[in-house]
């Protein structure tokens, strides 16, 4: 680690649980962030600030004026530019030592397998049910830990899905892939802006814990936040023996 890195990351290195060894694991890691909107913006900024060596951003959208109420990686000057390009500029300004790869695309199963295979940790910051299940399936196939967050209106959710842990459920264990689910979007339902910052920052925290090998992850627990009362509820979630995605065949 260089003198500049020792100084830049000194507040993490001072933590007994992290130290130089933990920081070096972070520097050597590769985080894949799918979705660079409300959740992906704070998650990416915190991971870049913490020195994650390689961050891959995936999003097929461009920056819109309506995004700026909550998507803090983007600016008014970058309206109309691809979100991955805009976010990459924000990360480079914050920490030029981090390698950032941007992919402007809507991912499918084949693309996801290749992306997930190269990652150390995956953050699902997407905004639709089908993509969440596709990301989960790829993480199960590639045995990569997944930090999943979601926010709509005043409600937030957060969990860690770790296929390396025999007791950890996958996303399909908690939310059935074939459920008759009516998609709700921010464009029609609205979203309380600071809530995506809270959940996105916590996604970064869980990812950093996994990368540095510190603390206990949220695997096996689903945290739900009611933004009206600022109350967290935590429920235990278990692996389903009949899960069509993660159950042994």
pLDDT digits (tens, 9 = 90+) for 116-162: 999 999 999 999 999 999 999 999 999 999 999 999 999 999 999 99
pLDDT at position 182 is 58
The answer to whether 126 touches 107, Cβ cutoff 8 Å, is no
Least confident of 129-143, 144-158, 187-201, 227-241: 187-201
Three-state DSSP state, 61 = coil
Q: Any catalytic annotation for residue 186?
A: yes
d(CA 173, CA 167): 11
| Three-class SS state of 91 | helix
Q: How confident is the model at residue 165 (pLDDT cuts 50, 70, 90)?
A: very high
**CA-to-CA distance for 217 and 132, rounded, in angstroms?**
20
Q: Name the band, by pLDDT with cuts 50, 70 and 90, for residue 110.
A: confident
**pLDDT at position 185:** 62
The active-site residue out of 170, 186, 243, 246 is 186
Residue 161, pLDDT score: 98
Write down the pTM of the prediction. Answer: 0.95
Return the sign of the alpha-carbon dihedral for residues 21, 215, 209, 177.
positive
CATH (one of 3.50.50.60, 3.40.50.720, 3.60.15.10, 3.90.550.10) for 3-236? 3.40.50.720
Mean confidence (pLDDT) of the chain = 95
CB 88 within 8 A of CB 36: no
């Amino acid at each position: 680690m260089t003198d500049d890195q020792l100084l830049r990351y000194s507040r993490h290195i001072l933590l007994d649980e992290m130290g130089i060894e933990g920081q070096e694991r972070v520097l050597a890691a590769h985080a894949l962030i799918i979705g660079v909107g409300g959740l992906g913006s704070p998650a990416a900024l915190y991971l870049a600030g913490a020195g994650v060596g390689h961050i891959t951003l995936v999003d097929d959208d461009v920056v819109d004026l309506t995004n700026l109420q909550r998507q803090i990686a983007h600016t008014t000057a970058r309206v109309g530019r691809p979100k991955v390009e805009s976010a990459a500029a924000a990360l480079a300004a914050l920490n030029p030592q981090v390698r950032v790869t941007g992919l402007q695309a809507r991912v499918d199963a084949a693309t996801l397998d290749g992306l997930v295979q190269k990652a150390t940790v995956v953050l699902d910051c997407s905004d639709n049910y089908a993509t969440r299940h596709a990301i989960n399936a790829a993480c199960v196939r590639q045995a990569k830990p997944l930090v999943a967050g979601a926010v709509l209106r005043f409600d937030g959710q957060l969990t860690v899905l770790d296929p390396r842990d025999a007791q950890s459920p996958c996303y399909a264990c908690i939310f059935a892939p074939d459920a008759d689910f009516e998609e709700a979007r921010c464009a029609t339902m609205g979203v309380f802006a600071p809530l995506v910052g809270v959940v996105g920052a916590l996604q970064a925290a869980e990812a950093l814990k996994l990368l540095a090998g510190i603390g206990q992850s949220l695997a096996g627990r689903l945290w739900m936040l009611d933004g009206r009362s600022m109350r967290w509820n935590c429920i235990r979630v278990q692996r389903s023996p009949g899960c069509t995605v993660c159950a042994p065949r």
